[in-house]
């Protein structure tokens, strides 16, 4: 494999890892606060549709982005209402949100555009364009580093840089601020947070809200940057891969980055090579597709380091009387 | 007394949830510029007013009975099996292998054999998540989700690389041999004078589904194992004190659940398509969640909820055919049912409980 091919694969790794990373960090905020969220997929899907739909109507991708985030946030609040306010089952709520998004997006797409559940292709200002970082062209001639800078680091859409910047930001927010300490505490021992006079319900709603915004970014990236428009079920399980990455990362931001890059790489390789001939035997493309899930099960099984979820995760908090 | 009567919990709460879901669905239909009453009439017309419509309604209901029972039995052990979809896919593989490679003399022997094979394959697919939950504490919801995706990849590989007949383009097995053909309702109930259920896919598997409802009821409420499953579901620590092994109950409940989900494939694969295709499950594994929630995990409730969803499915297909409402409307209704009967249960229950308490105080 020559350098150009390698760079292409890595470049596509970065593109494919971006929605996973945004969704994974979204899940991290929610689950660290004790709210399990298997509705990442649905929120991404809703955001993908509304960002593409509004961007194609207004011809402004930024308004589209806002609409996508709003849609995802609305589903987040629904999840909060069900699992925080009414103390319902968080997993069932997540399942419901996934179906709600899967159905409503196609229903509305058909009503608005009559194109069989897709939006019109986005052109021009309706899409996020790649950003060429300063000096990328001048440095392209430098051996090794030049192409890496020009191909791999430069030339992505703004949301890619946002996603990668979110990793240190999340780390700082969680581990270096008072808000972060409280957020982590509310996922481990909500009764302690309550005793300290801080609202468990309020904190959890904030966490679920952040989760909504990040899922909104992830969905908008899918429909307005990675691809040019919305198609039915375009998230294609990415929300669940992000969930897998979150477990793989043991609910920590930097590890989330590595896990998402790994799963992004798997997707990129599967996309480019289909069946991989190793000489001795052929690795079928289906195995590459299933690998993130298999790895997650192995991690969950605790044979390779144990993944321990936040202690109060999934439990609605009931104030003592 | 601070509880409301049992009948209100079993009937009133799901009913109110259903009405809420129906109102919201009607609003959605109005939102896309169609008339909800006309749409409902069309659904009734297409699903219930002709015997062929009933043939489709019962065909879909058969799928949902199996997957609904699968989710319900896991619920009794307080396990949430989201993996019905994957277990049904692998169950389909079991059906296909049994039908293709064993020379069955006639359909009823074949049905027994294929049932065993489907249940075995489905149960096997549930075994690993069950074992990991019981022994290693891995969250069963996550592992069963992961196993759905792994099942899809396995099935894809097997169909494309192993079972596809030479020269065929689409990823599917060869047609099953003639002796495995299950009698359809059309063949069973039509007379020379009056054809019934014409062209509909409902088949003898429906009666197997009814029988499984009864079997699950007996298992849950009339056997020691069922008692242990319910005790474990009510309180794990109490069950442990009573000498009930958590590992055993988790694994056994999941095996039964997976087996039931796997049996769903009998209806779609052996009864309808008569070959194994890629998307044989069509999301029925997930609808099982809605069915079990609405049916309050009781076999009779599951049966009624499955019939309702069968009606919605067939009615939805009619809508997609005659109006501008796509089939995805059913997915929305399904989501609303799951939301109201599952996640927002307390929203319905709390005011109702208050209402009952208030009336009791007056009396």
Q: What is the mean pLDDT of residues A81-110?
A: 91
Rounded mean pLDDT, A153-171: 91
Between A140 and B350, name the one with better pLDDT: B350
Residue with tokens 């394959």: B121
> Contact, A222 vs A45, CB < 8 A?
no
Query: Smallest Cβ distance to B343: which of A82, A296, A300?
Result: A82
Q: Do B145 and A38 touch (CB under 8 A)?
A: yes
pLDDT, position A250: 86
Averaged pLDDT for residues B64-76: 96
Nearest CB neighbour to B153, from listed A100, A107, A286: A286
B265 found inside a domain:
yes
The answer to whether the beta carbons of residues B164 and B96 sit under 8 Å apart is no
Residues in chain B: 363
For chain A, say whether B138 makes contact (Cβ under 8 Å).
yes
Contact residues, chain B, for A297 at CB < 8 Å: 128, 132, 138, 143, 146-147, 150
Q: Output the average pLDDT for chain B.
A: 90
The reply to whether B337 falls in a domain is: no
Quick check: A273 pLDDT over 80? Answer: no
Reply yes or no on whether the pLDDT at B344 is more than 90: no
A106: chain B residues, CB-CB within 8 Å: 326, 328, 331
- In this prediction, residue B190 carries a pLDDT of 83
pLDDT for A4: 81
The pLDDT tens digits of the residues spanning A203-251 come to: 999 999 999 999 999 999 999 998 888 998 898 889 998 988 898 888 9
Arithmetic mean of pLDDT, A27-56: 94
Does the structure show a pLDDT above 90 at A291?
no
Assess if residue B117 is contained within a domain.
yes
Give the integer Cα–Cα distance in Å for A86 and B321.
Answer: 39
Confidence at residue B322, expressed as pLDDT on a 0 to 100 scale: 86
Looking at residue A145, its pLDDT comes to: 78
CA–CA separation, B55 and B161 (whole Å): 35
What pLDDT does residue B62 have?
96
Q: Is residue B351 classed exposed, middle or buried when 0-12, 13-18 and 19+ CB atoms within 10 A define those classes?
A: exposed
- Note whether A248 and A307 are within 8 A (CB): yes
* Residues of chain B above pLDDT 90, percent: 52
Q: How many residues belong to chain A?
A: 321
pLDDT at A305 over 70: no
pLDDT at A218: 96
Which residue do the tokens 């390698």 mark? A6
Q: How far is CA B325 from CA A101, A109, A162, A233, B34, in A?
A: 16, 11, 38, 18, 8
A vs B, Cβ pairs < 8 A, gives 154
Pick among B36, B286, B335, B345 to test the A interface (most A CBs inside 10 A): B335
Q: What is the mean pLDDT of residues A14-41?
A: 94
Residue B126, domain extent: 61-307
Which range (A36-45, A75-84, B192-201) has the least confidence? B192-201
- The predicted pLDDT at position A130 comes to 84
Q: What is the mean pLDDT of residues A177-185?
A: 94
Element (H, E) at A282: strand A282-283
> What pLDDT does residue B311 have?
93
Q: Is 90 exceeded by the pLDDT of residue B320?
A: no
Q: Which residues of B touch A304 (CB under 8 A)?
A: none
A chain contacts of residue B161, beta-carbon cutoff 8 Å: 284
Kindly state whether residue B131 falls inside one of the protein's structural domains: yes
Closest-CA residue to B58 (of B194, B181, B207, B189): B207
* Interface contact A293-B146, CB threshold 8 A: yes
CA distance B271 to B11: 33
pLDDT in tens, B128-170: 999 999 888 788 888 999 999 999 999 999 998 888 888 888 8
Q: Which two tokens stand for residue A62?
A: 């930024």
Judge whether residue A72 has pLDDT over 60: yes
- Which one is predicted more confidently, A223 or A122? A223
Residue whose entry in the numeric block shows the structure tokens 């321990």: A308
pLDDT at B275 over 50: yes
Runs of H (alpha helix) within chain A: 3-32, 40-58, 61-80, 90-113, 136-139, 145-147, 158-176, 178-188, 190-195, 200-221, 238-248, 253-273, 285-301
pLDDT confidence bin for B1, thresholds 50/70/90 = very low
Determine the pLDDT at residue A306.
65
- What pLDDT sits at residue B208? 95
SS3 A279: coil
Q: What is the chain B residue with the closest CA to A287?
A: B153
Q: Tens digits of per-residue pLDDT, B2-51?
A: 567 777 777 888 888 889 989 999 999 898 888 889 989 999 998 888 88
Domain count, chain B: 1
Q: What's the gap in Å between the CA of B140 and the closest CA on chain A?
A: 10
Q: Long-range contacts of range B324-328, CB-CB < 8 Å, 24 or more positions apart?
A: B324/A110, B324/A111, B324/B32, B324/B33, B324/B34, B325/A107, B325/B29, B325/B32, B325/B34, B325/B39, B326/A106, B326/A107, B326/A110, B326/A117, B328/A102, B328/A103, B328/A104, B328/A106, B328/A107, B328/A110, B328/A117
Neighbours of B322 (CB within 10 A): 13
Q: How would you classify the pairing of strands A276-277 and A282-283?
A: antiparallel
Residue B318 has pLDDT above 70, yes or no: yes
Report the percent of chain B where pLDDT is more than 70: 99
pLDDT at A71: 96
Side-chain-facing half-sphere of A189: CA atoms under 13 Å = 5
Joined tokens for residue B82: 């989201």
Distance from CA of B79 to the nearest CA of A (A): 11
């Amino acid at each position: 494999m020559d350098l150009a091919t390698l760079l292409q694969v890595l470049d596509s790794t970065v593109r494919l890892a971006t929605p996973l990373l945004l969704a994974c960090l979204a899940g991290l905020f929610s689950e660290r606060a004790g709210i399990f969220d298997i509705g990442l997929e649905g929120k991404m899907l809703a955001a993908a549709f509304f960002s593409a739909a509004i961007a194609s109507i207004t011809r402004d991708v930024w308004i589209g982005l806002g609409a996508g985030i709003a849609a995802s946030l609305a589903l987040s609040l629904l999840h909060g209402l069900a699992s925080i306010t009414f103390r319902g089952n968080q997993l069932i709520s997540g399942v419901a949100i996934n179906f709600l998004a899967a159905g409503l997006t196609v229903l509305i797409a058909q009503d608005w555009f009559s194109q069989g559940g897709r939006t019109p292709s986005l052109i021009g200002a309706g899409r996020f364009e790649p950003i060429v970082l300063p000096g990328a062209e001048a440095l392209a001639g430098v051996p090794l580093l030049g192409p890496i800078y020009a191909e791999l680091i430069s030339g992505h859409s703004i949301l890619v840089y946002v996603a990668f910047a979110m990793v240190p930001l999340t780390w700082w927010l969680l581990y270096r601020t008072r808000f972060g300490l409280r957020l982590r505490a509310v996922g481990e021992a909500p009764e302690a947070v309550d005793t300290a006079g801080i609202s468990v319900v309020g904190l959890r709603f904030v966490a679920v809200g952040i989760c909504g915004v990040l899922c909104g970014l992830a969905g908008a990236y899918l429909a307005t940057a990675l691809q040019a428009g919305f198609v039915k079920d375009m998230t294609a399980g990415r929300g669940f891969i992000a969930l897998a990455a979150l477990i793989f990362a043991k609910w920590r931001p930097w590890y989330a980055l590595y896990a998402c890059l790994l799963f992004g790489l798997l997707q990129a390789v599967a996309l480019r090579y289909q069946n991989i001939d190793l000489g001795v035997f052929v690795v079928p493309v289906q195995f590459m597709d299933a690998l993130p899930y298999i790895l997650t099960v192995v991690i969950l099984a605790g044979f390779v380091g144990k993944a321990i979820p936040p202690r109060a995760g999934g439990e609605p908090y009931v104030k003592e009387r | 007394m601070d509880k409301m009567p049992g009948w209100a919990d079993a009937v009133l709460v799901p009913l109110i949830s259903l009405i809420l879901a129906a109102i919201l669905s009607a609003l959605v239909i109005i939102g896309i510029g169609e008339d909800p009453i006309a749409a409902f009439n069309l659904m009734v017309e297409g699903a219930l007013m002709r015997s062929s419509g009933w043939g489709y309604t019962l065909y879909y209901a058969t799928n949902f009975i199996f997957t609904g029972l699968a989710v319900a039995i896991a619920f009794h052990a307080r396990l949430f099996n989201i993996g019905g979809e994957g277990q049904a896919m692998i169950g389909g593989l079991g059906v296909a292998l049994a039908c293709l490679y064993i020379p069955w003399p006639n359909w009823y022997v074949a049905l027994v054999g294929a049932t065993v094979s489907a249940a075995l394959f489905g149960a096997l697919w549930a075994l690993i998540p069950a074992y990991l939950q019981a022994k290693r504490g891995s969250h069963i919801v996550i592992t069963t989700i992961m196993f759905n995706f792994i099942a899809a990849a396995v099935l894809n590989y097997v169909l494309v690389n192993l079972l596809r007949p030479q020269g065929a383009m689409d990823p599917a097995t060869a047609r099953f041999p003639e002796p495995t053909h299950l009698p359809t309702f059309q063949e069973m109930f039509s007379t020379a004078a009056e054809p019934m259920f014409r062209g509909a896919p409902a088949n003898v598997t429906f009666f197997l589904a009814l029988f499984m409802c009864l079997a699950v009821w007996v298992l849950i409420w009339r056997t020691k194992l069922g008692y242990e499953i319910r005790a474990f579901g009510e309180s794990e620590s109490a069950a442990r004190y009573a000498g009930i092994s958590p590992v055993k109950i988790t694994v056994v409940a999941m095996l039964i659940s997976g087996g039931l989900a796997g049996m769903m494939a009998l209806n779609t694969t052996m009864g309808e398509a008569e070959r194994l295709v890629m998307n044989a499950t069509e999301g029925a594994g997930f609808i099982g969640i809605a069915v079990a929630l609405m049916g309050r995990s009781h076999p009779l409730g599951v049966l009624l909820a499955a019939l309702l969803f069968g009606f919605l499915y067939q009615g939805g297909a009619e809508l997609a055919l005659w109006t501008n409402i796509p089939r995805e409307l059913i997915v929305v209704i399904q989501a609303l049912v799951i939301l109201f009967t599952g996640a927002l249960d307390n929203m319905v229950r709390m005011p109702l409980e208050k209402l009952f308490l208030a009336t009791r105080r007056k009396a």
